[in-house]
Structure 1
Amino acid sequence: MGSTVLSLRIDGELLDRLKTHAAKRGMSVQDYVIRTLIRDDFDERFATSVEKTEAFYGAA
C-alpha cells in the first residue's frame, strides 16, 4: 500500500491542541491525526457491522 499526501489548513488554536494531545502520547501531530482517523474509521465500521448483525438476527 502506498501513501498519498493530504494537506490541511487548520487554525492555530486547533493545531496547539493537537500538539498537546500528541505530545502527551509521545507522538508527532501527523501520527496523532492519522491514528485518530484510523480509530474513527474502525469505530464507524464496527458500529455498522453491529447494526447489520442485529438486523439480521433481529434485535431483542
Structure 2
Amino acid sequence: MLSLRIDGDLLDRLHGHAAKRGMSVQDYVVRTLTRDDFDERFRAAVERAERFHSTPPGRPRQSPAGTAAGDAPRAAAT
C-alpha cells in the first residue's frame, strides 16, 4: 500500500492528466511510477545533474577541505 499526501493544485493537475487518458488519478500515478523507462529517465537525470555540477576541464574539483579531489590531505607543518 502506498499513501500520498498532495496539495489541491497538484491533485487538480493529476486529475487533468488522468482524465485525458481515461484513467483514475490512482491508476495514472501508479502507471507513471511503474513506467518501463523510469530507470533510463532517472539515469539520464543523474547524468545531467553530474554534468551541471562538474568543474571545467583542466581544473581539479575541490573537496570541502580545500584539497583537490583524490589528493590525500597534507599534514600541517609544525
TM-score range, shorter chain: 0.5 to 0.7
- Greater Cα radius of gyration, structure 1 or 2: 2
Structure 1 residues 12 and 43, CA gap change in structure 2 (3 angstroms): same
Q: Distance in 1 between matches of 2:26 and 2:7?
A: 15
Q: Do residues 44 (structure 1) and 39 (structure 2) align? A: yes
Identity percentage over the alignment? 70
5+ unaligned residues in a row in structure 2: which ranges? 44-78
After TM superposition, what 4+ stretches of structure 1 lie above 4 angstroms from structure 2?
45-48
RMSD: 2.2
Greater RCO, CA 8 A, separation 6+: 1
TM-score under structure 2 length normalisation: 0.47
Aligned residues: 43
Q: Distance in 1 between matches of 2:42 and 2:3?
A: 29
